[in-house]
A and B are shown apart, each in its own frame.
Chain A
Amino acid sequence: MLIQLAWKNIWRNKKRSLIILSAIAIGLTCGLFVSAVMYGMWDTTIRNTIDKELGHYQLHSNEYKAENLITNYIPNGETVIDSLQMQPAVVAVSGRTIIEGIAASPTSSGGVRIIGIDPPDEQKVTTLYQYMKQGTYLDTVKANTIIIGEKLAEKLNLKLNSKIVLSFQGLDESIVYSAFRIQGTFSSESSAFDETTVFVRQTDLFALLNHPIIFHEIAVRLDSDKELTAISGQIQQNFPGLKVETWRELAPELNMVNDMMSMYLYIFLGIILLALLFGITNIMLMSVLERVREFGMLMAVGMKRIKVFFLVIFEAIALSLAGGVIGIIFGSILTAIFAHVGIDLSIVGEGLSSFGVSSMLYPSLPWTIYPTLTFMIIVTAVISAILPARKAIRLKPSEAIRSF
């Protein structure tokens, strides 16, 4: 009954109710969309980092974690890989050989991380092969081919099919030099990665080192990251001599963003609701002051003060939820549209890539935001209505009935 009366009461002044309802709807539509852009941006960055580089988790030798020397490789790497491939939830495994070295061209040089891969295995774990800008991924039988980042190519003034000289320390501590032919260039949307990372075939690398293939890093892709911690814990138990780390531990800054993302969203939406709170309070106060005689009558005929209190509260909740639901629907529609077509920010792509952020954004929102936001709207409505409700119940019926 109270709810029915509250709903009918808010439409007594249609214009005023529509104004505040629109304010709530527009505020929440914009708030949700902006939140979706922010959330989508960071979600995409995290996904890209996992997809292009890290995988869901990695294994290293403990010594390698302390000092990434070429000699600190994973013992019996092939056995470890075979064992990992038998694990349920493991989709793909890629063993990598990682050597710090120098890349040089006739005009310039720079420090690089040389990653030796088995291209078919690597393609199952990471998606870097999808980001080739020129040429092809490492899939030919030609020896000594290399793929480098566009940023590095620019820095060394090299192009497709150019020669690039890599120098690095071998297992016997001697310096190894070799020339590689650029088969392709990639752009991963992280300019730091593109400038400092090169990929070669493991077979080419170990032909130069004159050593059987060794792995410094084993990257693993799971079918989902839902049980990441549990699975990595299990793997750690199986290989106590190795350091098993999830992407959260490998990229703690991204992990922090991932954990904080939801909180930032709620804070942002909370600020919008706080601003709307004052408007709702104002409207409810006006509504109560206009109905002083009616409230006096209601209490006179026997409506308890607690019911009068809740009547005002329910009116605020009804008004806020009506606007809130419209805002959530429109915000979700807007998010869904742009989640499909994307937002092209290539105009500021350079700046974004320096943070490892893609220039093509796909807004998204976690499903948990909807019930939480609904709850926040109700709380906002209740808080905004407390002052007007108190005003209503403090009326003296005998005076209120006779007021003008």
Chain B
Amino acid sequence: MSLEKFAYDNRTVKWFAYASIGWGLIGMLAGLWAALALVLPGINLDFAPTTFGRIRPVHTNAVIFAFVGNGIFMGVYYSLQRLCKARMYSDLLSKIHFWGWQAIIACGALSLFMGFTTGKEYAELEWPLDIAITLIWVVFGANMLGTILKRREAHLYVAIWFYIGTWVAIAMLHIINSFELPLSFMKSYSWYAGVQDALVQWWYGHNAVAFFLTTPYLGLMYYFVPKAANRPVYSYRWSIIHFWALIFIYIWAGPHHLLYTALPEWAQSLGTVFSIMLIAPSWGGMLNGLLTLRGAWDRVREDAILKFFVVALTCYGMATFEGPMLSLKNVNAISHYTDWTIAHVHVGALGWNGFLTFGILYWLLPRLFSTELYNRKWANTHFWLGTLGIIFYVIPMYWAAFTQSMMWKEFTAEGQLKYQFLETVHTVVPMYALRAVGGVFYISGVILMIVNLAKTISRGTFVADEAAEAPALPKVIEVHGKAHWHNWIERRPIQLAVFSLIVVAIGGLLELVPTFLVRSNIPTITSVKPYTPLELHGRDIYIREGCYTCHSQMIRPFRDEVARYGEYSKAGEFVYDHPFQWGSKRTGPDLARIGGKYPDSWHYNHMLDPTSMSPGSIMPRYPWLFEDRMDKTKTPAMITVMRKLGVPYAPGYENQANADLEKQASEIAGSLEKEKLHVGKDREIVALIAYLQRMGKDIKTK
């Protein structure tokens, strides 16, 4: 058999590695800024782009799509070529993929800083970027499938299965969740409303964690852990079951984000059951990774790369045990809206994704530059800084979560709530400070890594095209033992992709069909009316400033929540909410029934300086809302788009909307005037007050 000569493309791998490191540092610094903002609200500098509500989406998007995203592509482009014994299908597609993805990240970060957001967590980017993501994702898929098709190795190693599964599932999730109707360039309203929007969003949110942060990284784990340990994976059979079990179960588990909501009871229970079932494949995968190192534990003591991998796998195990626990209703009742969620995701992000990426970088970059790592000691120091960082991050967060949740639920002997919301915040602020210390540890480790890798690179020589040779794939593939249907599909990547799509789509349908069957206006509440034009403007400001990152709009049917916030939220109250704004974290109190609780002047003073109304509040100031004017030219388009989405505005109302807006704005400006607060009625604060005063009033009893 003659050997074919070819060369692996290392240049794209190097680019993605640099991008992952660079964006990772930026994303982590944004996270540190957000963490500090909860301790020192003044660091928002009274400037919108540096305020928590905008920094936080920048942080989450940068870490997920820029740090981890580029990390995925780095690992895939390196391992796929070697597993297929073929160069990437097209250098041009690799280039388009790389630069396209970086352009999306840069535009995404910029647009989030500027306040362009859909208001849906982890899917905040607006519609032009959603389309760009779809196109670049297709380029990635074409390049990947093309490489698999021209491979020189008959069998597809399990890592490739994880890559294909990832590609298919993310494509489906992204497209379905991004259904939105554009209002203008960079502004759109979600196709879905209220309960449906929440379900689609959390179906997406949950599975984005599964198929962006988990399955591609498991693929990388199945390649790089055996590589670094220099021994094959502990059980290959196990890894196949791991793959199918994850694809099979993950997609069904989404409803666990919406316990105690209007979702049909059986769907909630199914979500919980499948979440519990997830422990089995997740732990199987973790053990498979850890057991690969059996007989190599002596090396783990010295080799920083293996240490990173061991902690990454352990964190994967912890996070995937904790996730199912959080999906139990009685645990969720305590954990939801608290810092427990934050701790949980950071075990995953800092431990699993972060440490696996660092391990791969330390292994990969010296190889790309055909040299040794500059300083092994520094890598070990990085390992300890990172581990300390994780510990200092998550323990204070767990502590804060338990403390605050217990305080929220505590009643006095007389049956009154024992603590004001702000008292519970003050109790946990020291924990927020400690968490920032953890972040500093973690980031200093990353900086040490960057220096170490830069030194490594400067003393090596880059091998852009790594020569390799392998025999061509024979036309008839030799069969080991009896031929089997699975062998058939293994050699047909396109069919495997289609098959995985069917598999995840069926799972997705099961979850989504009942959602759509819940009639959007059931249970009908006749008193629920569409927002007025001024309130719509106010709602857009609420979304733009990222208020949902700290405030929920969903009162659960618990005694303490009803006592604190008012009547619990009903599904029918949200039928005109495009998008929903239930939120997932209560750094501040719930706002579902804030309307009419305080006078207009209270909101005015509170937005100008929160501490004037709530001494010791950690909410930032929003002075720009008092200077900026709302864009009334957009009003007719807002009404038209909302009507298209099913909100019953009368025909022709768009022409009359601005007159109504003026009238309501004058009323609010007038009521402020009585309190000697002078503000132009066209300022954004007036619209925001209108929205805040409307919230939850439709069915207010008494």
Decide whether A and B assemble into one complex: no
